[in-house]
Structure 1
Amino acid sequence: MERKVALVLGATGGIGNAVARVLASRGWEVRALHRNPEGVTARHGFDWRQGDAMIASDVAAAAEGVSLIVHAVNPPGYRNWGTLVLPMIDNTIAAARANGATILLPGTVYNYGPDAFPTLTEDAPQHPRTRKGAIRVAMEQRLRAFAETGAGRVLIVRAGDYFGPDAANTWFSQVVAEGKRPTAITYPGRRGVGHQWAYLPDVAETMIRLIETDGLDAFATFHMEGIWDPDGTRMVDALCRVLGDPAVPVRRTPWWMMRLASPFVPMLREVMEMKYLWDQPVRLMNAKLTAVLGSEPNTPLDRAVRQTLTAMRCLAPAQVVDAGNMALAAATGMGR
């Protein structure tokens, strides 16, 4: 039996950590690369190795003998994509080639432009309109070239905007602030515009089921449906139900203020580049995924939101109100 050893790059991030947990639960030996492993060695029992994803020799040493490399690492602070992203994927490809390993990449919708919207299948044309999108396309071109040499395999799984325990810097953390019970919900999208979300544990479970599926193409891509919010109200309504208050104020993200500040705040410049994904519906279609797996892991929305808010310290267990009590409170006016 093949020894199941995986190296996770980005194991302290949202998707990297979620994938590492699922791998460990399925009997994989999980290694994780970190510049300062002393502070994280006790987490989840992973085998932490000191190193930097930007240093090829560090990645190569950590990857020795692995059969899977999870490339879930991104530049810190959402910045410097132009100088960091491609060198990091090159280091991962070199390490995978040396070990005949599979590369698992969490994909993005950045690769696509308006000519492919609003519904995206795996074979949709990739003509991005942003710098980040062009970089992601270049990443995948390098991964395809690697897979075509026969030196290793590649799996790319795309999903909507992440949320979930330990999701860290995501759009969900802009909707509700971490560390306190929300007194308002700030929604980035326009009324009536659909948006796609993805619960991290479901994404990680999907990825590992695919990794453990025989017969996939050497370069395989799959899209997850996750949670489709057709008009921007489904996620907000779930938040209100879980909070037990149908009258929680819902505000719009002050994009105009962010635009004014973006010349002076690098992080805001990066965020503003991706605003178009909130201005129009963009939906990943999962027919190919369900044809292979039979179904897509799908945690009920209220449970996923509840677990996320609890992990964000926005909700104590005693504060949780189930949907039935929420409906009663709304009907009687007792929830206001």
Structure 2
Amino acid sequence: MTKTVLILGATGRFGRNAATAFESAGWDVRRFDRSKDTLRQAVHGVQVIVNAWNPPYYDWAAQVPGLHADVIEAARLVDATVIVPGNVYVFGDGNGGTWDVTTPHLAQNPLGKIRRDLEDAYRESGVRTIVLRAGDFLDTEPSGNWFDMIMAPKLAKGVFTYPGATDIDHAWAYLPDLCRAAVQLAEKRDELNRFEDVPFPGYTLSGEKMADRLAAVTGRSISLKKMNWLPIQLARPFWKLAPHLLEMRYLWNMPHRLSGARLNVLLPEFQHTPLERALASTVPPAALQHPTGQNPMSTQTSL
């Protein structure tokens, strides 16, 4: 029997990786094209919908509820399972530590509340849903995430820029691994709860530990420098993304990790890519030109 998945947002970071992972697993992959497709027609013959639509932060309030309501209705038409890339915004500020399926969703900030409402809508709809929850992304190509835009651009010069406290845990997910997990969960969807919340543990790293691993990967001495948030603060009145970046800044200063307990129950054989191999595929190519005669090490400084 043909297994068919519809990818919404197939050109984005999660959607692109999901399409690759499903194709590698032998699925028929349909990439939704907003310019010519309608959702109600596109879902026919589909068993799984990957909802990777993700508008810019400043459009979340206006667009996210309606987009997901449309997906819920489309999934209900064909009894499809919806895979939603979840994040850690739902937990809120001041609620750090290890987050799992029992951790309450206490976010009161605007973006966190939108994500809470989104997940509640799926839970209450009765549509079969898998929320695959992850931390910040590591991608194999530049895709506008924190790592490739802010942290890694100066690695070829031996500088790793970090946007928060460098000595506390932070949750990361390597997108090819995350999307392999999505495929494996999709393939056992009939065994799952109607609404399944699956935290993806990925890698838990402080800025200091990541700098050490990057030194090993690149063969360079890495200087760890803290990002200067002042330009974003000054841009707040006229750059509409700035207020939302500042709103979520707390995640860089609150230690957190995602529990792998539920994933281990559902996918006990799942193997994560070794960290150094994942990092080697995410850093700018120029950073991997190992200097000769130099012992890699990391140092910590501040701007």
Scaled by the length of structure 1, the TM-score of the pair is: 0.82
The match for 1:9 is: 8
Q: Which ranges of 4 or more aligned residues in structure 1 deviate by more than 3 Å?
A: 180-183, 312-316
Secondary structure of the residue that 1:119 maps to in structure 2?
strand
The match for 2:212 is: 237
Matches of residues 312-323 of structure 1 in structure 2 within 5 Å? 312-315=284-287, 319=289
Please say if residues 93 and 250 of structure 2, whose CA atoms lie closer than 8 Å, have aligned partners that are also in contact: no
The match for 1:252 is: 226
Please say if residues 72 and 105 of structure 1, whose CA atoms lie closer than 8 Å, have aligned partners that are also in contact: yes
**C-alpha displacement of 1:15:** 1.1
**C-alpha displacement of 1:126:** 0.8
Q: Distance in 1 between matches of 2:158 and 2:95?
A: 38
The match for 2:201 is: 225
Please say if residues 162 and 198 of structure 1, whose CA atoms lie closer than 8 Å, have aligned partners that are also in contact: yes
The match for 1:82 is: 61
Please say if residues 116 and 126 of structure 1, whose CA atoms lie closer than 8 Å, have aligned partners that are also in contact: no
**C-alpha displacement of 1:35:** 3.8
The match for 2:92 is: 113
Unaligned regions of 5+ residues in structure 1, if any? 37-49, 52-57, 332-336
Q: Distance in 2 between matches of 1:289 and 1:160?
A: 15
Alignment length (residue pairs): 295
Equivalent residue for 1:265, pick from 239, 244, 249: 239
Scaled by the length of structure 2, the TM-score of the pair is: 0.90
Q: Give per-residue Cα distances to partners, 1:159-178, cap 9 Å, x unaligned.
A: 11101213511110210129
Equivalent residue for 2:175, pick from 172, 178, 200: 200
Matches of residues 1-336 of structure 1 in structure 2 within 5 Å? 1=1, 3-35=2-34, 50-51=36-37, 58-75=38-55, 77-114=56-93, 116-147=95-126, 152-166=127-141, 168-173=143-148, 174-177=150-153, 181-213=156-188, 214-229=190-205, 231-246=206-221, 248-309=222-283, 312-315=284-287, 319=289, 329-330=295-296
Letter in 1 for 2:191: G
Letter in 2 for 1:160: G
Letter in 1 for 2:193: D
Percent identity at matched positions?
Answer: 33
Q: Distance in 1 between matches of 2:224 and 2:267?
A: 37
Please say if residues 176 and 182 of structure 1, whose CA atoms lie closer than 8 Å, have aligned partners that are also in contact: no
**C-alpha displacement of 1:182:** 4.5
Letter in 1 for 2:201: E
Higher relative contact order (CA 8 A, sep 6+): 2
Please say if residues 96 and 256 of structure 2, whose CA atoms lie closer than 8 Å, have aligned partners that are also in contact: yes
Q: Give per-residue Cα distances to partners, 1:91-143, cap 9 Å, x unaligned.
A: 11111011110000010101112464222111211110211111111111111
Q: Distance in 2 between matches of 1:315 and 1:113?
A: 35
Q: Distance in 2 between matches of 1:22 and 1:277?
A: 29
**C-alpha displacement of 1:279:** 0.9
Secondary structure of the residue that 2:90 maps to in structure 1?
coil
Please say if residues 220 and 290 of structure 2, whose CA atoms lie closer than 8 Å, have aligned partners that are also in contact: no
**C-alpha displacement of 1:90:** 0.9
- In structure 2, relative to structure 1, the CA distance for the partners of 1:217 and 1:252 (3 Å cut) is same
C-alpha RMSD of the superposition: 2.2
Secondary structure of the residue that 2:246 maps to in structure 1?
helix
Secondary structure of the residue that 2:143 maps to in structure 1?
coil
Please say if residues 208 and 224 of structure 2, whose CA atoms lie closer than 8 Å, have aligned partners that are also in contact: no
Q: Distance in 2 between matches of 1:98 and 1:295?
A: 33
Please say if residues 111 and 137 of structure 1, whose CA atoms lie closer than 8 Å, have aligned partners that are also in contact: yes
Unaligned regions of 5+ residues in structure 2, if any? 298-303
- In structure 2, relative to structure 1, the CA distance for the partners of 1:202 and 1:320 (3 Å cut) is farther
Q: Distance in 1 between matches of 2:22 and 2:142?
A: 17
